[in-house]
Chains A and B, each alone.
Chain A
Amino acid sequence: MSTLTNTSTTPSTRKSFAFYAKYLFVRLGVLPFLLLAAIIIFSLLSENFLTGRNVMNVFRQSSYLMLIAMGQMFALLTGGFDLSVGTIVAITSVVSAIVMSTLFSLYPDAIWLSISVGALVGLFVGTSIGLINGIGVAIFKVNPFMMTLGMSSVGFGAALYLTGGSPVYGMPMDFSDTFGFGKLLGIPAPIWICFLCFAALALLVNWTRTGRYFYAVGGNLKAAQLSGINTKKMLMLAYMISGLVAAVCGILLTARLDTGEANIGASFPLESIAACVIAGVSLRGGVGRIGNVVLGALFIGLITNGMNLARIESYLQTVVIGLLLIFAVIADQLRLKLMASLQD
């Protein structure tokens, strides 16, 4: 998104191609270039890559990570982490599936009632885990790393305990048909929902006080406090948002799989942090833009999809993703250096 809006700001002076490239790099960061390179490479490797169908596919597959990464950004902005996002996805999936299937078997006519109640309960559970994380971090001053790691173990255990380790079946067909496979104007439901979340969160983070306060709290907790900001509330809110968005993702994944699974989401914590870091979110807090985070998640989705199409082994894929992450961070450092040579 920011790629499109920002390209219009290229300088009007006539300069060499190298200058333009450098300028764009400094201006936009490494992400657009990585995206472009990935698109070029994969469309050369596989002719199926750039087809409309596959592109839609990439977007749909990435939308789950996009959601998680957007939530993760809030935790990172305040200078923390959320390692429990994967668990929140799993427990949301299990809980909402159980509620839906139980209600549905009791009242077979109340299809939408059971779907909405199930989804609401899922959202509630996800947000509550976020709240517990937030209370631990804000009030008891537990390090976010330990707090969310601990909660992730608690949540995972609970999800397995609730299901006895087996998937939950018996949800109304409409649930999966709508939220898993449904389309509106030819665009799959997860993309719509992801877009709505993006719009809401972008509004929150850029145009409201609350959003500004996240940056301030991560930038300097003490200064924020002296400026009259309730920093504890902000920390709690950050983890609650992360939990809520992860729960949305959990429900969407449940719909896609048509089962409640305790074993999903394990790769989300790492991937969402990676997406944020590639997108320039600072691990020390206070810096990050939500549009870039979405692109970061898209990039990871793109790479995974491309490598699948190019039949690269899945073990190797993990290696590639790790290397790319490190490369992105190095490139960002380079960008800061280059900035000095470009006077504007």
Chain B
Amino acid sequence: MAIQESTPSALEACPTELGPHSHSSQMKHGQSNRIQNINTNNEKVQPLLKLDRISKLYPGVVALDKMQLTIMPGEVHILFGENGAGKSTLISTIAGAHQASSGDMYFAGEKVLLHSVQEARKLGISAVFQEFSLVPQLSIAENLFLGAEPLRAGLLDQTANLTAAKALLSKLGFELDAEQKVAYLSRAEQQMVEIAKAFRTEPKILILDEPTASLTEKESDRLFELVSQLKAKGVGIIYITHRMSEIRRIGDRITIMRDGKYISTLNVKDTSEDALLTLMTGRVIDKVFPKVAFHPTSTALSINNLSTKDNSLKKVSIEVKRGEIVGLAGLIGSGKSELLRACFGLEPLASGSVHFNGEEVTGFSPKQMLDRGFFYNSADRKNEGLAMNRSCRENITLASLTTQRFSLGLFLKRFKELKECKDLAKKLQLQPFNIEREVENFSGGNQQKVLLAKCLTRDVSLYVFDEPTVGVDVGTRTEIYQLIANLCESGAAVVLISSDLPEIIHLSHRAYVMYRGELKAELSGTNINEQMLLNHFFERECTL
């Protein structure tokens, strides 16, 4: 804290030699003099944004506790912290989406009080929020210019709107049809629209809250290019991510927070991954990915020449055995998610067949598939996964109420339900630990935990995890991977659909790569590596 107050204009640099437990404030205090000296050349530069002792209270939770942050022009500043640490809350405050309970915010040296996102935008603060703010019934073009529609003689100018939207999308290099309704877009595509929205005006500060959580490499690369262009123009960028590789790749400085409190601000160059993890969690994490034993037994799922009516799948055949984890990789729209959705009865089929545990189940409904032990865990927790205004407990047991475990004839075993949910929440380290709270009041990563918990309450022989760690912090991700490993080792079949390559590489025994609705490759063993996977992500001509 002493750092921020004494040298508000200086870039701090904390040395790297942070031992596992040495992030105490005395230490920073002791070093503050040294830091001042290091950065004398930066003293002239005024910070774009400075937050001073910002606190935010939610019902029953202190989401931010005297948090501080300084953003310099032309830097990419990473916000790092566990799920529920308060990162999203902090940036919502900066972006004017809600007001802090106390504390001050200075924009270019002047104290400001933002009442709305519009006000923030006028100042030049644009944000891409973790939860989307798109109107599904409107087209992409209309969404992009929502609140700033081009007018002609006081009336909407649809053509100008469309042209401007197309220009914006092509400038950003996003392959989206501006006239399409947002309701028909996948999560990743919606994410791209959100990003485009933030780029509509020329921002002075751009905030990105886990923007790559549902993007694949290609779109992410594009985003990073855009970010570095903005950076060159002197824009300050606040970037929230749980991915270590991204921190390395684009981050200049990193601020770590825990439980709503400021922990430390470091130069990314001078830090190690372990030090960051320790600062973030307050404990030492040895390895992220577990080693999963490989004992494949009988075939659980076999898909034969499956095609869907909308052509998102073209004659795909795969097989999944019990006791193995099968990774499914590919770009957005490659059909990797659609394949398993189709088996679960969510996409209309055109031809082909699906066999599950020896039984033909082509075209069965979700309910029938669930009863047979096939669990699909959706990638879109807000729209498909969770009833946001119901409690955690009710969400966790929703898919299992028909089983003996929670039902006695007509009636629910509510005490049993309570107990089992508590156990699960403890196992997944739900934060805050209150299973009666509505899901919408949890942070993004914690919502994801609730979604995962859903499939752990009944007997399942095939688990399909569609982007299971979207927005989950590294500490918890370790737990989730361990959980998936345990499921597999106890004899279940697991399909892991993921846009996060390390996940596929480290966890799967076998991996399929999809490309434009077709199966492109099957990899196994040591062949599952980044080079091989990426090779199949694009068309053959495209060399990487």
With A212-B412, A339-B59 as contacts: A226 and B376 at CB distance below 8 Å: yes
Interface string of B370-403 (1 = CB under 8 A from A): 1100001010000111111110001100110110
**A226, B341: Cα distance in complex, Å:** 10
Residue of B344, B383, B390 most packed against chain A (CB within 10 A): B390
CA distance in complex: A219, B385 (Å): 11
Q: Does A222 contact B (CB under 8 A)?
A: yes
Which chain B residues border A286 with CB–CB below 8 Å? 387, 389-390
Q: How far is the CA of A25 from the CA of B414 in the complex (A)?
A: 27
Please state if B398 and A212 are interface contacts (CB–CB under 8 Å).
yes
CA of A230 to CA of B57 in the docked complex: distance in angstroms? 39
Question: Is A50 interfacial (CB 8 A cutoff)?
Answer: no
A213 to B399, CA, bound (A): 10
For residue A140, CB closer than 8 A to chain B, the reply is no
Size band of the interface chain A makes with B:
20 to 34
User: Considering the chains assembled together, what is the distance between the CA atoms of A213 and B370 in angstroms?
Assistant: 16
From A207, A218, A223, A284, give the contact of B384 (CB < 8 A): A223
Asked, given contacts A207-B411, A208-B412, A343-B57, whether A223 binds B402 with beta carbons under 8 Å apart, the answer is no
Q: Which of A209, A224, A342, A344 has the most CB of B within 10 A?
A: A209
The answer to whether B398 and A229 have CB atoms under 8 Å apart is yes
Asked if B525 lies at the interface with its beta carbon under 8 angstroms from chain A, I say no
A226-B346 contact given A212-B401, A340-B57, CB 8 Å threshold: yes
CB contact list, A318-344 vs B, under 8 A: 336, 339-344
CB <8 Å contact, A212 and B394: yes
User: Taking CB as reference atom, which chain B residue is nearest A286?
Assistant: B389
**B376 closest partner in A (C-beta):** A226
Tell me if A197 counts as interface (CB < 8 A to partner B).
Answer: no
Is B407 at the interface (CB under 8 A from chain A)?
yes
Residue of A nearest to B346 (CB): A226
* Docked-complex contact B407 and A228, CB < 8 angstroms: no
Partner of A209, one of B346, B378, B383, B412: B412
Nearest residue (CB) in B for A225 is: B366
Task: Flag whether B542 is at the interface (Cβ < 8 A).
Answer: no
Residues of A within 8 A of B398 (CB): 212, 216, 223-224, 227, 229
Give chain B nearest CB distance to A222 CB in angstroms. 5
Question: Does A227 contact B399, Cβ atoms closer than 8 Å?
Answer: yes
B367 at the A/B interface (Cβ < 8 Å)?
Answer: yes
Question: Is the pair B384, A226 in contact by a Cβ cutoff of 8 Å?
Answer: yes
Complex alpha-carbon distance, A192 and B264, angstroms: 65
Q: How far is the CB of B96 from chain A (nearest CB, A)?
A: 18
Is A43 located at the chain interface by the 8 A CB criterion?
A: no
Query: A215-B394, A226-B384 given as contacts; is B59 within 8 A of A340 (CB)?
Result: yes
Given contacts A216-B387, A216-B390, A228-B370, contact A341 B57 (CB under 8 A): yes
Chain A hits for B58, CB < 8 A: 340
Answer whether residue B27 sits at the interface, using C-beta atoms and an 8 A cutoff.
Answer: no
Q: How far is the CA of A287 from the CA of B439 in the complex (A)?
A: 13
Q: Are B378 and A226 in contact (CB under 8 A)?
A: yes
Select A230's contact among B367, B376, B378, B389, beta carbons within 8 Å: B367
A282 within 8 A of B: yes
* Chain A nearest CB, measured from B207 CB (Å): 23
Query: Any chain B CB within 8 A of the CB of A220?
Result: yes
**What does the 1/0 interface line of A151-183 toward B look like (CB < 8 Å)?**
000000000000000000000000000000000
In the bound complex, residues from chain A placing their C-beta under 8 Å from that of B366 are 225-228
Give which listed residue, A207, A287, A342, contacts B389 with CB less than 8 A: A287
Is B60 in contact with A228, judged by CB distance below 8 angstroms?
Answer: no
- B153 within 8 A of partner (CB): no
Residue of B nearest to A204 (CB): B410
In angstroms, Cα B439 to Cα A286, docked, is: 13
B402 touching A209, Cβ below 8 Å: yes
How many Å lie between the Cα of A216 and that of B388 in the bound state?
9
| Shortest distance between the CB of B407 and any CB in chain A (Å) | 6
Taking the closest CB of chain B, its distance from the CB of A344, in whole angstroms, is 6
Q: Which of chain B's residues has its CB closest to A210's CB? A: B410
A342 contact set on B, CB distance < 8 A? 59
The smallest beta-carbon distance between A314 and chain B, in angstroms, is 38
* Alpha-carbon gap, A238 to B297, bound state (A): 45
Residues of B within 8 A of A210 (CB): 410
Given contacts A209-B407, A212-B394, A343-B60, contact A228 B389 (CB under 8 A): no
Cα-based distance from A220 to B451 in the complex (angstroms) = 13
Per the bound structure, the CA–CA distance linking A228 and B402 in Å amounts to 9
A223 & B411 in contact (Cβ 8 Å cutoff): no
Output the residue of B57, B60, B370, B398 with the most chain A CB within 10 A: B398
- Alpha-carbon distance A215/B378, docked complex (angstroms): 20
CB nearest neighbor in B for A343: B60
A-facing residues in B321-377 (Cβ within 8 Å): 344, 346, 366-367, 369-371, 376
| Complex Cα–Cα for A245 and B23 (A) | 64
B454 in contact (CB, < 8 A):
yes
Chain A residues 199-258 with CB under 8 Å of chain B are 207-210, 212-213, 215-216, 218-220, 222-230
In the complex, what residues of B have CB within 8 A of residue A209's CB?
Answer: 401-402, 407, 410, 412
Contacts of B402 in A (CB 8 A): 209, 228
| A282 to B, closest residue via Cβ | B389
Q: Which residues on B sit within 8 Å (CB–CB) of A284?
A: 389
Which residue on A lies nearest to B406, using beta carbons?
A209
Partner of A216 from B59, B394, B412 at Cβ < 8 Å = B394
Contacts of A343 in B (CB 8 A): 57, 60, 62
State how many angstroms separate the Cβ of B89 from the closest Cβ of chain A: 12
Taking a contact as CB atoms under 8 Å apart, the answer to whether B378 and A219 are in contact is no
- Distance in angstroms from A281 CB to nearest chain B CB is 12
A209 (CB) vs chain B CBs: closest residue: B401
Q: A residues within 8 A CB of B385?
A: 220, 223, 226
Closest to A339 in B: B59
B101's nearest neighbour on chain A, judged by CB, is A340
Q: CB-CB contacts of B131-163 with A at 8 A, as 1s and 0s?
A: 000000000000000000000000000000000
B92 to chain A, nearest CB (A): 15
Known contacts A226-B399, A228-B402; 13 additional CB pairs below 8 A are A208-B412, A209-B401, A212-B398, A216-B398, A219-B389, A223-B383, A223-B386, A226-B366, A227-B398, A228-B399, A282-B389, A340-B59, A343-B60
Query: 8 nearest interchain CB pairs?
Result: A219-B387, A227-B399, A339-B59, A228-B370, A220-B387, A228-B367, A219-B390, A227-B398
Contacts from A to B (Cβ < 8 Å): 207-210, 212-213, 215-216, 218-220, 222-230, 282, 284, 286-287, 336, 339-344
User: Interface residues, chain B, CB within 8 Å of chain A?
Assistant: 57-60, 62, 101, 344, 346, 366-367, 369-371, 376, 378, 383-390, 394-395, 398-399, 401-402, 407, 410-412, 414, 454
Query: 18 interchain pairs (CB within 8 A)?
Result: A207-B414, A209-B402, A212-B394, A219-B390, A220-B387, A220-B388, A222-B384, A223-B378, A225-B366, A226-B384, A229-B367, A229-B398, A284-B389, A286-B390, A287-B389, A339-B59, A339-B60, A341-B57
